[in-house]
Amino acid sequence: MRNNHEIDYKIYGEELQFVEVELDPRETVIGEPGGFMMMDDGIEMQTILGDGSQQQGSGLLGKLLNAGKRVLVGENLFMTAFTNAGQGKKKVSFAAPYTGKIIPMDLQLLGGTLIAQKDAFLCAAKGVSVGIAFQRRLGTGIFGGEGFIMEKLEGDGLAFVHAGGYVVEKELRAGEILKVDTGCVVAYTPSVDFDIQFIRGIRNWMFGGEGLFFAVMRGPGKLWLQSLPISRLASRIIQYSPQMGSRKEEGGILRGLGNMIDGDGF
Protein backbone atom coordinates (compact mmCIF):
# COMPACT_ATOMS: atom_id res chain seq x y z
CA MET A 1 0.00 0.00 0.00
CA ARG A 2 1.42 3.37 -1.05
CA ASN A 3 0.77 6.68 0.71
CA ASN A 4 1.68 8.64 -2.44
CA HIS A 5 -0.55 8.64 -5.51
CA GLU A 6 0.02 5.52 -7.62
CA ILE A 7 0.52 6.51 -11.26
CA ASP A 8 1.19 4.66 -14.51
CA TYR A 9 3.56 5.96 -17.15
CA LYS A 10 5.23 5.45 -20.53
CA ILE A 11 8.47 7.00 -21.75
CA TYR A 12 8.74 7.98 -25.43
CA GLY A 13 11.78 8.76 -27.55
CA GLU A 14 15.45 7.87 -27.52
CA GLU A 15 17.63 10.94 -26.96
CA LEU A 16 15.03 13.70 -26.55
CA GLN A 17 12.47 11.95 -24.39
CA PHE A 18 9.18 12.76 -22.74
CA VAL A 19 7.22 10.83 -20.12
CA GLU A 20 3.47 10.32 -20.41
CA VAL A 21 1.76 9.88 -17.02
CA GLU A 22 -1.66 8.21 -16.85
CA LEU A 23 -3.90 9.42 -14.05
CA ASP A 24 -7.02 7.80 -12.62
CA PRO A 25 -9.80 10.16 -11.45
CA ARG A 26 -8.54 12.45 -8.62
CA GLU A 27 -4.93 11.32 -9.03
CA THR A 28 -2.30 14.06 -9.19
CA VAL A 29 1.23 14.41 -10.51
CA ILE A 30 3.53 17.32 -9.63
CA GLY A 31 6.07 18.79 -12.02
CA GLU A 32 8.74 21.45 -12.34
CA PRO A 33 7.56 24.68 -14.00
CA GLY A 34 8.57 24.54 -17.65
CA GLY A 35 8.52 20.75 -17.90
CA PHE A 36 4.88 20.47 -19.06
CA MET A 37 4.35 19.23 -22.63
CA MET A 38 0.65 18.32 -23.15
CA MET A 39 -2.42 16.99 -21.35
CA ASP A 40 -5.87 15.58 -22.02
CA ASP A 41 -9.01 17.63 -21.55
CA GLY A 42 -10.32 17.14 -18.02
CA ILE A 43 -6.99 17.58 -16.25
CA GLU A 44 -6.81 20.62 -13.99
CA MET A 45 -3.53 22.49 -13.59
CA GLN A 46 -2.78 24.34 -10.36
CA THR A 47 0.35 26.21 -9.28
CA ILE A 48 1.22 25.31 -5.69
CA LEU A 49 3.70 26.60 -3.13
CA GLY A 50 6.21 23.82 -2.43
CA ASP A 51 5.66 20.21 -3.47
CA GLY A 52 2.23 19.49 -1.96
CA SER A 53 3.52 16.64 0.19
CA GLN A 54 2.44 15.95 3.76
CA GLN A 55 5.97 16.71 4.97
CA GLN A 56 5.64 20.39 4.13
CA GLY A 57 2.76 20.83 6.55
CA SER A 58 -0.67 22.29 5.97
CA GLY A 59 -0.01 25.80 7.29
CA LEU A 60 1.44 28.72 5.35
CA LEU A 61 4.67 28.64 7.37
CA GLY A 62 5.25 24.96 6.58
CA LYS A 63 4.65 25.58 2.89
CA LEU A 64 7.02 28.54 2.88
CA LEU A 65 9.77 26.57 4.60
CA ASN A 66 9.38 23.68 2.18
CA ALA A 67 9.39 26.00 -0.84
CA GLY A 68 12.37 27.88 0.57
CA LYS A 69 14.39 24.66 0.56
CA ARG A 70 13.81 24.38 -3.18
CA VAL A 71 15.10 27.90 -3.70
CA LEU A 72 18.35 26.89 -1.96
CA VAL A 73 19.00 24.27 -4.66
CA GLY A 74 18.25 26.74 -7.45
CA GLU A 75 14.73 25.51 -8.18
CA ASN A 76 11.50 27.45 -8.54
CA LEU A 77 9.56 28.52 -5.45
CA PHE A 78 6.40 27.01 -6.94
CA MET A 79 5.51 23.68 -8.52
CA THR A 80 2.61 22.70 -10.78
CA ALA A 81 0.05 20.04 -9.85
CA PHE A 82 -1.92 18.25 -12.57
CA THR A 83 -5.09 16.50 -11.32
CA ASN A 84 -7.50 14.30 -13.23
CA ALA A 85 -10.79 16.06 -12.49
CA GLY A 86 -12.77 14.17 -15.12
CA GLN A 87 -14.10 10.67 -15.64
CA GLY A 88 -11.91 7.81 -16.80
CA LYS A 89 -8.18 7.80 -17.27
CA LYS A 90 -6.40 10.97 -18.44
CA LYS A 91 -2.83 11.58 -19.59
CA VAL A 92 -0.34 14.39 -19.02
CA SER A 93 3.19 14.54 -20.46
CA PHE A 94 6.44 16.13 -19.36
CA ALA A 95 9.42 16.74 -21.66
CA ALA A 96 13.14 16.51 -20.94
CA PRO A 97 14.90 19.91 -21.02
CA TYR A 98 17.87 18.69 -23.08
CA THR A 99 19.19 15.57 -24.79
CA GLY A 100 19.51 12.61 -22.46
CA LYS A 101 17.38 10.07 -20.62
CA ILE A 102 14.42 10.16 -18.25
CA ILE A 103 14.87 7.71 -15.36
CA PRO A 104 11.82 6.38 -13.47
CA MET A 105 12.58 5.96 -9.77
CA ASP A 106 10.23 3.88 -7.62
CA LEU A 107 11.03 5.29 -4.18
CA GLN A 108 9.24 2.42 -2.47
CA LEU A 109 11.75 -0.02 -3.96
CA LEU A 110 14.68 2.30 -3.16
CA GLY A 111 14.02 2.51 0.58
CA GLY A 112 12.00 5.72 0.43
CA THR A 113 14.81 8.21 -0.24
CA LEU A 114 16.96 9.26 -3.19
CA ILE A 115 19.67 11.92 -3.35
CA ALA A 116 19.90 13.67 -6.73
CA GLN A 117 21.77 16.54 -8.35
CA LYS A 118 19.90 19.80 -7.98
CA ASP A 119 18.51 20.08 -11.53
CA ALA A 120 17.64 16.41 -12.09
CA PHE A 121 14.01 16.32 -10.87
CA LEU A 122 11.33 16.39 -13.60
CA CYS A 123 8.03 15.22 -12.07
CA ALA A 124 6.58 12.83 -9.47
CA ALA A 125 3.42 11.37 -8.01
CA LYS A 126 1.73 13.70 -5.55
CA GLY A 127 2.98 13.03 -2.03
CA VAL A 128 6.63 12.72 -2.97
CA SER A 129 8.62 15.27 -0.99
CA VAL A 130 11.22 17.32 -2.89
CA GLY A 131 13.61 18.69 -0.29
CA ILE A 132 17.31 19.28 0.23
CA ALA A 133 20.26 17.14 1.29
CA PHE A 134 23.40 18.72 2.73
CA GLN A 135 26.74 17.13 1.99
CA ARG A 136 28.06 15.73 5.24
CA ARG A 137 31.64 16.79 4.58
CA LEU A 138 32.53 20.42 3.95
CA GLY A 139 35.16 19.48 1.36
CA THR A 140 32.64 17.44 -0.59
CA GLY A 141 30.24 20.35 -0.63
CA ILE A 142 32.82 22.89 -1.76
CA PHE A 143 34.56 20.77 -4.38
CA GLY A 144 31.96 18.14 -5.21
CA GLY A 145 30.90 19.64 -8.51
CA GLU A 146 27.19 20.07 -7.69
CA GLY A 147 27.65 22.28 -4.66
CA PHE A 148 27.01 21.86 -0.95
CA ILE A 149 23.29 21.17 -1.38
CA MET A 150 21.61 18.45 -3.42
CA GLU A 151 17.97 17.43 -3.81
CA LYS A 152 16.36 14.78 -1.61
CA LEU A 153 13.34 12.90 -2.95
CA GLU A 154 11.33 11.12 -0.24
CA GLY A 155 8.18 9.02 -0.30
CA ASP A 156 6.87 5.73 -1.66
CA GLY A 157 5.71 6.87 -5.10
CA LEU A 158 7.22 7.24 -8.55
CA ALA A 159 9.60 10.10 -9.30
CA PHE A 160 11.22 10.91 -12.64
CA VAL A 161 14.67 12.43 -12.97
CA HIS A 162 16.49 13.55 -16.10
CA ALA A 163 20.16 13.15 -16.98
CA GLY A 164 22.34 14.10 -19.94
CA GLY A 165 23.61 11.71 -22.60
CA TYR A 166 23.57 8.00 -21.76
CA VAL A 167 22.66 6.88 -18.23
CA VAL A 168 24.17 3.86 -16.48
CA GLU A 169 22.99 2.33 -13.20
CA LYS A 170 25.61 0.89 -10.87
CA GLU A 171 25.11 -1.21 -7.76
CA LEU A 172 28.05 -1.15 -5.38
CA ARG A 173 28.76 -3.86 -2.85
CA ALA A 174 29.69 -2.97 0.72
CA GLY A 175 33.09 -1.27 0.66
CA GLU A 176 33.28 -1.22 -3.15
CA ILE A 177 34.61 2.09 -4.52
CA LEU A 178 33.95 3.81 -7.83
CA LYS A 179 35.77 7.03 -8.82
CA VAL A 180 33.65 9.31 -11.00
CA ASP A 181 33.85 12.76 -12.57
CA THR A 182 31.93 14.96 -10.14
CA GLY A 183 29.56 16.27 -12.81
CA CYS A 184 28.57 12.76 -13.93
CA VAL A 185 26.79 11.86 -10.67
CA VAL A 186 23.02 12.00 -11.25
CA ALA A 187 21.57 10.30 -8.17
CA TYR A 188 22.34 7.73 -5.48
CA THR A 189 20.72 6.00 -2.54
CA PRO A 190 21.59 7.38 0.94
CA SER A 191 23.59 4.26 1.85
CA VAL A 192 26.25 5.28 -0.71
CA ASP A 193 29.03 7.36 0.84
CA PHE A 194 29.89 10.41 -1.30
CA ASP A 195 33.39 11.86 -0.84
CA ILE A 196 35.96 13.63 -2.99
CA GLN A 197 39.60 12.84 -3.77
CA PHE A 198 42.25 15.22 -5.06
CA ILE A 199 43.75 14.15 -8.39
CA ARG A 200 47.42 13.47 -7.82
CA GLY A 201 50.13 14.84 -10.05
CA ILE A 202 50.49 18.46 -11.15
CA ARG A 203 50.44 17.48 -14.83
CA ASN A 204 47.20 15.56 -14.38
CA TRP A 205 45.22 18.50 -13.07
CA MET A 206 46.95 21.19 -15.12
CA PHE A 207 46.77 19.46 -18.50
CA GLY A 208 44.46 16.48 -18.04
CA GLY A 209 41.29 18.52 -18.53
CA GLU A 210 39.39 16.55 -15.88
CA GLY A 211 39.37 19.08 -13.05
CA LEU A 212 41.00 18.80 -9.64
CA PHE A 213 38.84 16.16 -7.94
CA PHE A 214 37.19 12.77 -8.33
CA ALA A 215 33.87 11.91 -6.76
CA VAL A 216 34.55 8.81 -4.69
CA MET A 217 31.41 6.68 -4.28
CA ARG A 218 31.63 3.89 -1.69
CA GLY A 219 29.01 1.17 -1.40
CA PRO A 220 26.74 -0.39 -0.51
CA GLY A 221 23.99 1.09 -2.63
CA LYS A 222 22.88 2.17 -6.06
CA LEU A 223 23.96 5.16 -8.12
CA TRP A 224 23.12 6.56 -11.53
CA LEU A 225 25.71 8.23 -13.75
CA GLN A 226 25.33 10.41 -16.85
CA SER A 227 27.75 10.51 -19.77
CA LEU A 228 27.08 14.16 -20.65
CA PRO A 229 26.56 16.63 -17.76
CA ILE A 230 24.71 19.75 -18.89
CA SER A 231 27.60 21.88 -17.58
CA ARG A 232 30.01 20.10 -19.93
CA LEU A 233 27.63 20.51 -22.87
CA ALA A 234 27.12 24.21 -22.11
CA SER A 235 30.87 24.89 -21.88
CA ARG A 236 31.44 23.26 -25.28
CA ILE A 237 28.65 25.31 -26.85
CA ILE A 238 30.12 28.50 -25.43
CA GLN A 239 33.59 27.47 -26.58
CA TYR A 240 32.46 27.23 -30.20
CA SER A 241 30.00 30.12 -30.15
CA PRO A 242 30.82 32.92 -32.63
CA GLN A 243 29.82 35.47 -30.01
CA MET A 244 32.79 34.41 -27.89
CA GLY A 245 35.23 35.75 -30.48
CA SER A 246 37.99 34.00 -32.34
CA ARG A 247 39.57 30.81 -31.05
CA LYS A 248 42.74 32.77 -30.47
CA GLU A 249 41.10 34.32 -27.44
CA GLU A 250 39.75 31.09 -26.02
CA GLY A 251 42.78 29.25 -24.72
CA GLY A 252 45.89 31.37 -24.87
CA ILE A 253 49.17 29.95 -26.16
CA LEU A 254 48.28 26.27 -25.72
CA ARG A 255 44.99 26.63 -27.60
CA GLY A 256 46.77 28.57 -30.35
CA LEU A 257 49.31 25.78 -30.81
CA GLY A 258 46.46 23.31 -31.00
CA ASN A 259 44.74 25.39 -33.65
CA MET A 260 47.89 25.43 -35.74
CA ILE A 261 48.22 21.67 -35.49
CA ASP A 262 44.63 20.91 -36.41
CA GLY A 263 44.66 23.42 -39.27
CA ASP A 264 42.26 25.99 -37.84
CA GLY A 265 44.87 28.72 -37.74
CA PHE A 266 44.67 31.83 -35.65
Determine phi and psi for 162, rounding to 5 degrees: -120, 140
Q: Which residues contact 62 (CB under 8 A, 6 or more apart)?
A: 56
- Assess if residue 261 is contained within a domain: no
pLDDT(22) > 50: yes
The amino acid at residue 264 is D
Q: Give the model confidence (pLDDT) of 93-105 as tens digits.
A: 999 988 899 999 9
pTM: 0.79
pLDDT score for 142:
47
The Cα–Cα gap between 93 and 78 comes to: 19
pLDDT score for 150:
84
Q: Give the model confidence (pLDDT) of 230-254 as tens digits.
A: 878 777 788 777 765 444 444 444 4
How many structural domains compose the chain?
1
Q: Which domain holds residue 65?
A: 8-164
- Assess if residue 211 is contained within a domain: no
Average pLDDT over residues 104-121: 94
140 burial via Cβ count (<10 Å: 0-12, 13-18, 19+): buried
Using an 8 Å Cβ cutoff, are 148 and 135 in contact?
Answer: yes
Share of the chain above pLDDT 70, in %: 72
- Assess if residue 227 is contained within a domain: no
- Assess if residue 266 is contained within a domain: no
Q: Kindly report the CATH number assigned to the domain that includes residue 155.
A: 3.60.160.10
